[in-house]
Amino acid sequence: SRIAAQTYAQRAAKHANPAAKALLETIERKQSNLCVSVDVTDRDEFLDIIDTVGPYACLIKTHVDIIEHFDLSLIERLQELSSAHDFLIFEDRKFADIGNTVALQYSSGVHKIASWSHITNAHPVPGPSIISGLASVGKPLGRGLLLLAEMSTKGSLATGSYTEEAVNMARAHRDFVIGFIAQRRMEAVGTSTDTNNDEDFLILSPGVGLDSKGDAMGQQYRTPKEVVTESGCDVIIVGRGIYGKGGNIDVQSVQKQAERYRNEGWAAYQARIR
């Protein structure tokens, strides 16, 4: 597609959303399209992994609701690491409720996600009101939203017309929706409205692994080459491929794997734009 042939730098220069622009610039600056998904429950382990993989990542993805003894001092540490290692933060909250409820979940409660997470995501299942609800909180803060247009799991229901309508919803809210969690590019999906030829949705793709095809709970893995070169996705999201099961992480091996996925992801991008 037109976008898949462009460099991250070319796209950064044109993008109007501040979070999308910052992510594209970070990818280019660090030559990394790797997002590390840090899905561990222990605070110290969470921070140790981020400190180790930070230099190789453009984005750190969190599920802060799984962390034991969460408080906002953890977020302060996360923000320090974000500055020190130059990555953005993506809370993988998967909002899925009515506009009024998601606005409260995004802004308030224990986690106050909007105050620190540059990017978050939502299921399109409630319809466009979920976007306006989240935008009422996130847009004034310069945040960006991803819609889950597809999922990596076996038997996912996010296919066909559901995926098409997700893309149409995003097209109607391009000031706040910066892209999709999906398994491929979405330009050809749904009803195109790109008359100015300036649509640029980022495709962030989970379900990436080099040494495994899946797990025992429905996850399915593809390689960075399949995801970035062949399917045209922009960012690879890798969790357990980098730190294994968690619990007593081996810092050297985590660092080695982060570097490996970063190199594979970047090579796959270079092969795509060539």
Q: CB of residue 111 vs ligand BMP: minimum separation in angstroms? A: 16
Q: Which two tokens stand for residue 174?
A: 């391009």
Residue 154 is a catalytic residue: no
User: Residue 26 carries which side chain, given as an amino acid letter?
Assistant: T
Stretch of 139-147, 160-168, 239-247, 260-268 contacting ligand BMP, by CB under 6 A: 239-247
Stretch that binds ligand BMP, among 65-73, 108-116, 149-157, 253-261 (CB under 6 A): 149-157
Residue nearest to ligand BMP (CB): 239
Interactions with ligand BMP, residue window 165-184 (CB under 6 A): 181
C-alpha–C-alpha distance, residues 68 and 45, integer Å: 11
Q: Which of 21, 94, 213, 256 is catalytic?
A: 94
Task: Check binding of 45 to ligand BMP (CB under 6 A).
Answer: no
Is 59 a binder of ligand BMP (CB under 6 A)?
A: no
Q: 93 by DSSP, 3-state: which?
A: strand
Query: Which one of 96-104, 184-192, 223-231, 238-246 is the stretch in contact with ligand BMP (CB under 6 A)?
Result: 238-246
Sign of the alpha-carbon dihedral angle for 214, 82, 247, 262: positive
Picking from 62, 17, 58, the residue whose alpha carbon sits closest to that of residue 236 is 58
Phi/psi at 122 (nearest 5 deg)? Answer: -150, 150
Torsion angles phi and psi, residue 202, rounded to 5? -80, 135
Q: How many residues bind ligand BMP (CB under 6 A)?
A: 16
Range in contact with ligand BMP (rule: CB under 6 A) among 17-25, 137-145, 150-158, 195-203: 150-158
Say whether residue 26 binds ligand BMP (CB under 6 A).
Answer: no
Residue choice 36, 151, 166, 202 for contact with ligand BMP (CB under 6 A): 151
Q: What angle do CA 78, 176, 156 make, to 5 degrees?
A: 80
Q: Which residues of 41-63 are buried (b: 16+ CB within 10 A; e: fewer)?
A: ebbebbbbbbbbbbbbbbbbbbb
Report the 10 Å Cβ neighbour count for 151.
21
Least distance between ligand BMP and beta carbon 181 (Å): 5
Contact residue for ligand BMP among 25, 28, 91, 92 (CB under 6 A): 92
- Give yes or no for residue 260 binding ligand BMP (CB under 6 A): no
DSSP summary character for residue 236:
E
Nearer to ligand BMP (CB atom), residue 69 or residue 245: 245
- Tokens representing 179 are 């892209």
- 239 is an interface residue for ligand BMP by CB under 6 A: yes
Interface residue with ligand BMP, options 99, 138, 144, 207 (CB under 6 A): 207
Residue 117: which of 12, 27, 22, 39 has the closest Cα?
22
Whether 257 and 243 have beta carbons less than 8 Å apart is answered as yes
Nearest distance, CB of residue 197 and ligand BMP, angstroms = 29
- CA separation, residue 202 to residues 3, 8, 148 (Å): 9, 10, 12
Question: Where does this chain bind ligand BMP (CB under 6 A)?
Answer: 37, 39, 63, 92, 151-153, 181, 206-207, 219, 237-241
Residues with catalytic roles = 94
